[in-house]
Chain A
Amino acid sequence: MKFPFLDALNNADESFIEEVFEYEESLKRRRRYTVKNIIGITAAAACAALIFGAGIFAFGRRGLESKPDAGVPAPIAPAPEITAPETTAPADVVEVEPSYNDRIANGETVTVETYIGKRIEYQDLAFTLKDITISPTFPEGITKDDISFTPIVTAYTDDDSEDNILGFVGKSYDYGEYAAEHGLPPIESEEDYGWYTVRKLAVSDVIDDSGLYQGPMDVPDEAYKWVFLELEIENLTDGELLEYMADMELCGGEYVVHPTAAAAMVDGEPVWGEAPYSFYAYSTEVSYMSEHTGEELYDGQAEGKKFHNLVFAPRETKTLVLGYCVSDHFVYGDLFLNLHNSEFTYMDDFVYLPLK
């Protein structure tokens, strides 16, 4: 079967080739676009997510004002002025429906989709979605010793059986217990959210000298796994949003796992309750490979569900710890943990405002 693909590709329908040219052209046009959206924004929390170059901003006023003081962050100071990219024809400016502001005023979270390079402005806050990619190997200067693993609330499971409670270094928590220990706001009903587990991984167990995760880890395949990278981001300015997309090559480099969750730490402490930013963790696609066999256990896009990886730069630090979660549960998860105020939002509550 020598070079069979050569012939097949040569004889593939020309429309595929035409599409390549059209797509490249459309990308060039899109990069020149600037969209200004006026949307509701909380005084205490703003989130951004990206889907392969697109971004989702979620703004809402829910939660914090009604929650106990523990975990309530300080108000966000106005961000510095950021120069907007070049603008284009008015057709690329999307009007935000007035109903969005009403919904936000009523405590709902509204999500707006945007793209890298687009500028979002609302009241005192202005930012442009950036694009920073974390390569599969660690950036220059970052070594295994720079990596820290920190416990963090990882995931939601709808099965509270003992088998699914993974625990924290051997210990299990329900969310209430974890919240109490870490000063997080309690949730109203555990039945709505199930169990939450905290995972901790030892660096030496999972990262080899090349900096690549090797595994297997001492957890069941269905477990949620986290790998953290601690990175120093240069020239990080206050209010600057970062996108990260990280495809890690695991166990020999032939399978790829998309990170399905992100979190940030400030000086080693969880960001929630301590920084005026929130994180929503999603994944556009999840492939979950068995570390033992390399067999692909799950690969799919959750139709109608959008998952985005994101990180929001803490204002006071240039150090981010990004968590990678390998999981096949998240794809069907309907809940997204707001690591800032521990709010849980059902995906149906998100509204996507297309910008094209």
Chain B
Amino acid sequence: MEDREILRLFWQRSESALAEVQKKYGRMLRKIAAKIAGSETAAEECLNDTLMILWQNIPPARPENIQAYSCKVIRNLAFKRLTYDLAQKRSINASVPLEELESAVADAGAEYDLQRQEVLLIIEDLLNGLSREARTVFLKRYYFMDTVPEISRDLGISEAKIKSILVRSRKKLAEKIKLKGEAL
């Protein structure tokens, strides 16, 4: 079912909208949540919460892309779950990618205390400046928490090249943060 039809079901307050979302995107959403929250149980709970949030928010929200919208919701939920329930035994899968970014920033001597909005702008600036391929690799790694082999398989490019893209992207990010920090 197309997203616009699913959206129509939401607006008609038909619960089949949730079933359709689960059917179409459930597997992907569970995978994202599992990687972050660290367990299938947590992932399932996050998915259920995601569906509830979709039901509560649509309407009035009218997301153009339900897949992307759902990803954002479940990602937020999964990280909240990670922080709240699993803070002591953090999911290795989730922390490693983000630690890569933090290490790159630290190695570049760019650990400035930036506001969240400033970091957001930097991230978006970085993403806008990357090639489509590099942007996809970056997001698959740091948004979707995919491993390098997974990215390689999904995009059909070598792991060596992926690592190269990630190294370059992290360096660019660190540079941008450094420039911003020095300007403050």
A residues contacting B by CB (< 8 A) are: 1-21, 23-24, 27, 31, 52-53, 116, 131, 133-136, 245-247, 249, 254-256, 258, 285, 287, 296, 299
Contacts and interface: CB of A to CB of B under 8 A. Distances in A.
B127 A12 contact: yes
B160 interface: yes
A135 B158 CA distance: 8
Pick the most buried of B112, B127, B155, B158: most chain A CB atoms within 10 A of its CB.
B158
Given A8-B116, A247-B164, A299-B168, A20 B140 contact: yes
B72 A14 contact: yes
B105 to A, nearest CB: 7
A116 B133 CA distance: 15
Given A133-B161, A247-B163, A1 B114 contact: yes
A256 B120 contact: no
Interface of B: 63-65, 67-69, 71-72, 75-76, 79, 98, 101-102, 105, 107, 111-114, 116, 119-120, 122-124, 127, 132-133, 135-136, 139-140, 142-144, 154-161, 163-164, 167-168, 171
Contacts of A12: 120, 123-124, 127, 143
B160 to A, nearest CB: 5
B163 A17 contact: no
Contact of A133 (B112, B140, B160): B160
Given A1-B112, A245-B160, A285-B168, 16 more contacts: A1-B113, A10-B76, A11-B116, A14-B65, A17-B65, A17-B71, A20-B143, A23-B132, A52-B161, A53-B157, A133-B158, A136-B163, A245-B161, A254-B107, A258-B164, A296-B171
Contacts of B168: 256, 285, 287, 299
A20 to B, nearest CB: 5
